[in-house]
Amino acid sequence: MKTLKFLHLSDTHYVCDKASDFVKNLYATYNTKENMIRELKNLPPVDFVLLTGDIVHDGEAEDYRGFKELLLEHLPDVPIFTSLGNHDLRPQFYQGFLDIDKGNEPHLSVDYFDDLRIITLDSAFDYGMEGLISAAQVEWLADVLKEPYGRGTFILTHHPFLAPLERAAAKYAPGFTEIIANSDVIAFFNGHVHHNNYGYFLGLPHITSESISFGITMDDQWSIYTNRTGYSLCTLEGKNISVAVKIQDHYFTELRRKGNEWS
């Protein structure tokens, strides 16, 4: 099996006119876009990109188009596989990023790279901030996973299934765990919590990326927002995954704190 190297980006919250004042100020104060471009320019070669949601912060189609052009400028001819988050507007994403018109449908997709299958579920569509894999999505997933493919399948969502606070983890309709257990799924990739994590869900690697826009550290009382940013460089050898977490600046500042909330 060919060794595959890929970039895992999440929660870019690409700034636009409708973004919150917090995101606008963050991009302006900490040169978030410029820092992102610098990292893209200096990346080692990658085979593809996983982009796991909150791509543009409440933006329009042209904002999604602009962000895709930024990625492709620095990663030409590199496929980008996406899931959508609670700050993504689906009609605008479809028009601007995929150049199709699907209205406000959930973003469910099946893609292939080499001998790898990549399935996207829309954890933010039915339940917004909290995250849910609905019964309809579970039924769709069961049909897709009936037949194995190549070396196996990645599952992309925005919300993680493992999270520092229970309320930040995605819920799922009955049957989901049984479908995964009897499938060729080899790993889960996600974001949402703005903090990296490598754990095991249903006995499989569960990989949550840092946010490239701002960090959040959660405890039982507070969600602490910082200017910590990062991403992951991943390697797939056979069915084994290794992850190198890249933190852009190891010195970071508390920007604000909220009582067990995040935006």
- 9-22 mean pLDDT: 90
Q: What's the one-letter identity of residue 166? A: E
pLDDT in tens, 176-227: 999 999 999 999 999 999 999 999 999 999 999 999 999 998 877 888 999 9
What is the model's pTM?
0.95
Beta bridge partners of residue 247, listed in sequence order: 230
Q: Is the domain 4-258 a CATH 1.10.3720.10 member?
A: no
* Domain range summary for the chain, segments of one domain joined by +: 4-258
The pLDDT value given to residue 128: 67
3-state DSSP assignment of residue 218: strand
pLDDT in tens, 63-111: 999 999 999 999 999 999 999 999 999 999 999 999 999 999 999 999 9
Residue 40 Cα to chain centre, angstroms:
17
Quote the tokens at residue 213: 């826009």
pLDDT in tens, 20-65: 888 898 888 888 999 999 999 999 999 999 999 999 999 999 999 9
User: DSSP letters along 94-144, please?
Assistant: IIIII----TT----EEEEETTEEEEE--TTTTTTTS-EE-HHHHHHHHHH
